Amino acid sequence: MPKLIIITGGVMSSVGKGVTSASIGRILRARGFSVNAVKVDPYLNVDAGTMNPYQHGEVFVTYDGGEIDLDLGHYERFLDVELPRRNNITSGQIYLAVIERERRGEYLGQTVQLIPHVTDEIKKRLLDAADGYDATLVEIGGTVGDYEQLPFLEAVRQLRLELGEENTVFIHVAWIPFLKTTEEFKTKPLQHSVAELRRYGIQPDALVVRSEKPIDKATAKKISLHTNVPASAIFNSYDVDTTYRVPLVLEQQGMGEFLSKRLGLPDRRPALEDWQSFVEALTNPKHTITVGMCGKYVELKDSYISIVEALKHAGAALRTAPKLEWISSDKVEERPELLEGKSLDAMVVLPGFGKRGTEGMIECVRYARVNKIPFLGICFGMQLAVVEFARNVLGLRGANSTELDPDTPHPVIHLAPEQQGLDRLGGTMILGNREVEIVEGTLARELYGSDKTVERHRHRYEVNLDYLPKMAEAGLVVSGWRTDIRRVEIIELRDHPFFIGTQFHPEFKSRPGKPRPVFYGLISAALKLRGEA
């Protein structure tokens, strides 16, 4: 029988439902159970590919090329798994499938309705995901009471009936505010959100109460009384120094035992020692370095969340806290001298699309190159590093990417021949895993310690191979190539303590305790220069 752990959210969004779900996953994984994780996004977009990072945060890329919600990134990092794109289910996908089926006449003249047709489609996808796993997490995005959530709540309500209590657990995550004037927690909004959930026929089996500080017994008792959830199934996820501590907090309160019992899984001792030491290393750094983070979407930090996490993973492995100095490429474009005032130990030029702010990003590359600051360019950042090199080292005036200047006299970044002529925003994106061959005798080879790797991609434009001989003469080395087709994957500079750019996105494969080589390399280079390595 499939076993589902269904997680809903109440009171308000952004209180860490994704992290809670991921933490529950880690707790089960620590017991050796196989766990799948699904994120349901009730919005009508089919995927997150076209969504604005300002509004929604990073687009996470799966190994099979899905452009999906960033919560899947939490799951991958906490569970240490690689999830397929189909694990992000949106209303858009569900409705599209149902309507397409209707158009093909497959409903044989029936009236097509939310119940049962839409709910059946949802249930089918959830059951498919759960097939073959000891347990499957289903996080329902949004907050209970949202109109768009209704078909999903209805579907999981039906699944409880069909699979039985022993195979379904409902966990509701809700915030309780602490009122400073009266010095007490207020549980009313949470009570209301549970009442709302009951209106749809769902009584939560457990609550994860999110709060600023640990809640007291009396508060827990009150919550229990009003929500009909036994005190033993009320967990408290209070604010902690790092989200990576949440699995430890929940485990300490008996979450693992609760779930094992509830789902009839064997009672096993959790192996959380490695996780614990990672958290200790992360929260007790011996060194601090300042990392410039230059990009276009720096106002919303979630836009680059996987990169931020990747830096933390690498930092923890080196007992170093990376202090991030966000640099808006727009601002640098207006006032390049801004950079002079900063004392940076490392510079990351971030992924991106479109022209705005790119001259500022190029200036950040130049600044790092000339001042010998350890540099990592990711995707767009790598492409702009090539542009900078072409302009300022090779002296090719007006060199650019054709994405930014279609008429540039020196298209050092362009659409590769097989990409040209295809629809601009459609199908031409290279997405997901590609194998990369790493050239011997390079920095990349030293970092990876291997001649091959597989990394995830999300880009359209490529380094123009025609310019490579000239670049090589001037010290820009290609140290990684795609294995299936001749495309540049990694570049580096000879005359620099650490200067590397990747066409791929190394951040998506970084995990606690398993930092990705380029991030690890960047931070160790910064430490070395400070004489602290």
Are 129 and 86 spatial neighbours (Cβ–Cβ below 8 Å)? yes
Which of these, 11, 42, 21, 39, lies nearest to 194 by C-alpha position?
Answer: 11
Are 142 and 177 spatial neighbours (Cβ–Cβ below 8 Å)? no
Active-site annotation holder among 74, 117, 410, 505: 505
Asked if 459 touches ligand GLN (CB under 6 A), the answer is yes
Pairing assessment for the beta strands 35-41 and 88-90 based on DSSP bridges: parallel
Angle at 385 between CA 381 and CA 388, to 5 degrees: 135
Q: CA dist 233 to 19, 164, 203, 225, 467, Å? A: 19, 19, 13, 12, 63
CB of 221 to ligand GLN, least distance (A): 50
CB of 459 to ligand GLN, least distance (A): 3
CB of 460 to ligand GLN, least distance (A): 4
Residue number, 429 or 529, with CB nearest to ligand GLN: 429
Sorted by sequence, the CB contacts under 8 Å of residue 436 that are 6+ apart come out as 452, 453, 454, 455, 480, 481, 482, 483, 489, 490, 504
Q: Is 76 a catalytic residue?
A: no
Binds ligand GLN (CB under 6 A): choice among 204, 352, 411, 512? 352
CB of 330 to ligand GLN, least distance (A): 17
Rounded to whole angstroms, the Cα distance separating 69 from 73 reads 8
Rounded to whole angstroms, the Cα distance separating 357 from 365 reads 13
Cα dihedral sign, 75-77-78-79: positive
Active-site annotation holder among 76, 379, 410, 492: 379
Rounded to whole angstroms, the Cα distance separating 205 from 220 reads 15
Helices 17-29 and 255-263: crossing angle in degrees, nearest 10, is 70
Residue number, 303 or 453, with CB nearest to ligand GLN: 303
Rounded to whole angstroms, the Cα distance separating 394 from 375 reads 19
CA 444 to mean position of chain CA atoms: 24
CB of 284 to ligand GLN, least distance (A): 34
8-state DSSP, 115? I
Asked if 151 touches ligand GLN (CB under 6 A), the answer is no
Residue number, 503 or 524, with CB nearest to ligand GLN: 503
Residue number, 290 or 402, with CB nearest to ligand GLN: 402
Which of these, 416, 398, 415, 418, lies nearest to 407 by C-alpha position?
Answer: 398
Helices 305-317 and 273-283: crossing angle in degrees, nearest 10, is 90
Number of residues engaging ligand GLN in binding (CB under 6 A) = 11
Asked if 123 touches ligand GLN (CB under 6 A), the answer is no
Residues 31-90 that bind ligand GLN (CB under 6 A): none
Residue number, 262 or 457, with CB nearest to ligand GLN: 457
Residue number, 42 or 501, with CB nearest to ligand GLN: 501
CB of 353 to ligand GLN, least distance (A): 4
- The 3-state secondary structure of 375-428 reads EEEECHHHHHHHHHHHHHCCCCCCCEECCCCCCCCCEEEECCHHHCCCCCCCCC
CB of 458 to ligand GLN, least distance (A): 5
Residue number, 94 or 386, with CB nearest to ligand GLN: 386
Asked if 403 touches ligand GLN (CB under 6 A), the answer is yes
Residue number, 65 or 352, with CB nearest to ligand GLN: 352
Segment interacting with ligand GLN (CB under 6 A) among 106-114, 292-300, 326-334, 455-463: 455-463
Binds ligand GLN (CB under 6 A): choice among 3, 160, 296, 460? 460
Segment interacting with ligand GLN (CB under 6 A) among 2-10, 92-100, 245-253, 345-353: 345-353
Asked if 458 touches ligand GLN (CB under 6 A), the answer is yes
Site track 360-389 with ligand GLN (rule: CB under 6 A), x = hit? -------------------xx--x------
Binds ligand GLN (CB under 6 A): choice among 142, 351, 501, 515? 351
54-78: burial string, b at 16+ Cβ within 10 Å, e else: eebbbbbbbbebbbbbbbbbbbbbb
Asked if 414 touches ligand GLN (CB under 6 A), the answer is no
Residues 176-195 that bind ligand GLN (CB under 6 A): none
CB of 104 to ligand GLN, least distance (A): 35
Q: Is 457 a catalytic residue?
A: no
Binds ligand GLN (CB under 6 A): choice among 107, 133, 353, 481? 353
CB of 357 to ligand GLN, least distance (A): 12
Rounded to whole angstroms, the Cα distance separating 394 from 60 reads 35
Q: Determine which helix (DSSP H) or strand (DSSP E) holds 238, and give its type and residue range.
A: strand 234-238
Rounded to whole angstroms, the Cα distance separating 379 from 508 reads 13
Residue with tokens 């994780």: 37
Residue number, 278 or 508, with CB nearest to ligand GLN: 508
Q: Is 507 a catalytic residue?
A: yes
Rounded to whole angstroms, the Cα distance separating 422 from 455 reads 24
Active-site annotation holder among 154, 462, 492, 507: 507
Residue number, 351 or 360, with CB nearest to ligand GLN: 351
Segment interacting with ligand GLN (CB under 6 A) among 48-56, 212-220, 286-294, 454-462: 454-462
CB of 192 to ligand GLN, least distance (A): 42
What region, left, alpha or beta, does residue 142 occupy, with left being phi > 0 and alpha being psi -120 to 50 degrees? Answer: left
Binds ligand GLN (CB under 6 A): choice among 175, 258, 461, 519? 461
Residues recognised as catalytic: 379, 505, 507
Q: Which residues make up the interface to ligand GLN (CB under 6 A)? A: 351-353, 379-380, 383, 403, 458-461
